[in-house]
Amino acid sequence: MAEGRDPRFDPLFQPIRLGPVTAPNRFYQVPHCTGMGHALPHTLAAMREVKAEGGWGVVNSEYCSIHPTSDDAPFPFAALWDAGDVRNMARMAQAVHRHGALAGVELWHGGQRSSNLHSRAPSLGPESLPGHYAPWQCQRMDREDIRALRRWHRAAALRAREADFDIVYVYAGHTYLIAQFLDPATNRRDDEYGGSAENRARLLMELVEDTREAIGDRCAIATRIEVTDEDGGGREARDALLARLAPLVDLFDVTIPDYSQEMGTSRFVREASLESEIAHVRALVGKPVVSVGRFTSPETMLSQLRRGIVDLIGAARPSIADPFLPTKIREGRLDDIRECIGCNICYAHDAMGVPIRCTQNPTMGEEWRRGWHPERVSRVPRARARDKVLVVGAGPAGLEAALTLGRRGVPVLLAEAEARPGGRINREAALPGLAEWGRVRDWRLHQIGKLPNVEIFPASRMTAQDCLATGARHVILATGSRWRRDGRGLSSPAPIPSFDDPRVLTPDEVMAGRRGPGPWVIFDDEGYYMATVLTELLAGEGQGVTLVASAGRVGHWMEHTVDQERSQARLIDLGVEIVVNHRVEALVPEGARLACVFTGRNRDIACGTLLPVTSRQPEDGLWQELQGADLASLQRIGDCRAPGIIAQAVFDGHRAARAFGGAEPPVRRERVVVRPDRAARRA
Ligand code: ADP
Ligand code: SF4
């Protein structure tokens, strides 16, 4: 037992046998997307390595395509199509092995869901149905196509073994090809691969048998599978299938079809939410079971093991927010765990085809290109009083900058105007469903509390004079932003004169408790969560609210964070009237004047109070005033530089602190560079 560990947590550190391999502990990073995949193998390997270093006993890849007929472009999936991919994926496996962890790979065929935008291969499916991303259908697989698929899958499994993976998945979930065969809604075939539940499962059984036969002596065979059909039915047939699979499978990674629950934001879904739905599987299969639940509490993890719900604690987001979560439990440093806040900013970026990042962990995705490590920063050599840094503003950016500078050994004064540090977190974590966002503030304040060289001065609104009077030669401004009252935003880049009216309240004023007469009109021109949570707040207070969105859905960007639909459904249930594809063009004596975004046609609706959620004004007054001041360095970070998401403010604070005391190092780029063209040089 490592020093400091509470022996109660010992079960989390017991090795477990998975067929021919042994996981060193119960911390299991399930396959999760990264936005890196086949395109950024160095970036990917470095990121996965940090998880293994942090103590995750198993580290898996993301969905890994077996063949060009499964191409998810523009999203950078992983691939094992050829020898080049073997080399790239082997880089990840090696990196994971360096720390004694097992490496897993999730072999994947997207079936009708892969539009094959890049490869231009026809998509394949049990039947010819539309794909998700393009207005064309897939090819119904005939027997020869199925035989070919089995060959591709087997070949990919052999390549996975060659790349030195220890666990190889047959991926039967998340509406991809095998799930399309399993599901009675998508599979209406009348041959031996359709019809009865047994027939629909034939392809999965064959692929599992093929994989076992090809590599089962060396690699554990895992399957990721849902416990019901897509519509939530078919549980008995699934139970029978799981039991039939049990002799052939070494590890069951089980989940449910509702992705907005499995991958739910903390606004709608709590920790361990799958438990009641997957708890029966372990007894059914008699093989090791893993499942997820955004586990960040060691107590919950332990309880899952003790009660026999799972054998391994599955995690994607908790391992992103804190790659060193297992180590911190092992060393008895529970208060150091940087808990995921359930915002899904990680997933949102993968869903936009770029590398993941994290609100809580600013180093996520930056391990290779910036060389950032989540637990280590370099000390500033011989930091002395003259290097003292004044950070103004204790929101996410200021807190992160102060913490990271403090860890680098720099003396820091952190001045905050409000009595309570936290900035926007204080306002927003009080909104419906967002309480967990408070972890951004609380974790940083707690960590700062351990640093004798960082002093916090609350209730200290700083003027330029005050800043200079501190004697700090370096000033970092993290003064945030305020929501605009004048309607400027995407729909109206210019201020809207009629919004200069006592009927207008800003989001900041409403969050501070101000209320106006009803009916309320809330204008969502920003597209993220703010308008929807404020609507939920006001509707919950019994106010009559009309939510007007300039996009086709309210909070449309939340489609990336997987909570747009739940959000809109909640507002509908609360009786909110929703008007989409309209902008609020003006306040008129009778109310708010709306304009259709397509035709420009106007209509007026009653409005006692207008709440425009359009854009924010950087609080950069100090920045302007301190220009030309006698300082060694002055910089602005976070929202006062460019108002954005909390993740960006944390990142900017971290970046500034890492760069302190020297030039910002260049950011490495991972790309193909062509060889010099000899013929052209001769010409
Ligand atoms: P960010 O997301 O960039 O961290 P926030 O708006 O969350 O920005 O936080 C900015 C913080 O800066 C707020 O807590 C605010 O009270 C504080 N602040 C703004 N101006 C001053 C000032 N002149 N002196 C001290 N604190 C300030
Ligand atoms: Fe958790 Fe948000 Fe980080 Fe994703 S981005 S791991 S949801 S804190």
- Written as six digits, the tokens of 172 are 């039967």
Q: Which ligand does the CA of 422 lie closest to?
A: 1
CA of 423 to the centre of ligand 1 (A): 6
641 lines ligand 1 (CB under 6 A): no
CA of 318 to the centre of ligand 2 (A): 7
Q: Which ligand does the CA of 392 lie closest to?
A: 1
Q: What pLDDT does 210 receive?
A: 98
CA of 348 to the centre of ligand 1 (A): 26
Q: Any residues with CB less than 8 A from the CB of 467 and at least 6 apart, and which?
A: 390, 392, 475, 622, 626, 629
Q: What pLDDT does 682 receive?
A: 65
What is the CB < 6 Å shell around ligand 2?
317, 320-321, 340-346, 358-360
417 lines ligand 1 (CB under 6 A): yes
Query: Which ligand 1 atom sits closest to the C-alpha of 399?
Result: 4
Is 133 among the residues known to form the active site? no
**Cβ(465)–Cβ(453) under 8 Å?**
no
Residue nearest to atom 6 of ligand 1 (CA): 480
416 lines ligand 1 (CB under 6 A): yes
Greatest extent of the chain over all pairs of C-alpha atoms, in Å: 83
Residue nearest to atom 3 of ligand 2 (CA): 358
Pocket test for ligand 2, best of 325, 346, 646 (most atoms within 8 A of CB): 346
Q: What pLDDT does 683 receive?
A: 58
What global pTM score does this model have? 0.97
Q: What pLDDT does 3 receive?
A: 58
Q: What pLDDT does 384 receive?
A: 73
Query: Which ligand 2 atom sits closest to the C-alpha of 357?
Result: 5
652 lines ligand 1 (CB under 6 A): no
Q: What pLDDT does 385 receive?
A: 62
Q: What pLDDT does 219 receive?
A: 98
415 lines ligand 1 (CB under 6 A): yes
Pocket test for ligand 1, best of 391, 619, 639 (most atoms within 8 A of CB): 619
b/e map 255-285, b = 16+ CB within 10 Å: bbbbebbbbbbbbbbebbbbbebbbebbebb
Bridge partners, residue 16, by sequence: 23
Residue nearest to atom 8 of ligand 2 (CA): 340
Q: pLDDT averaged over consecutive 10-residue blocks of the chain (683 residues)?
A: 79 98 98 97 98 98 98 96 98 98 98 95 96 91 98 98 98 97 98 98 98 98 97 96 98 95 94 94 98 96 97 98 98 98 97 96 98 96 82 98 97 98 98 98 98 98 98 97 98 98 98 98 98 98 97 98 97 98 97 98 98 98 98 97 98 97 90 83 63
- Written as six digits, the tokens of 602 are 């106007």
Q: What pLDDT does 161 receive?
A: 98
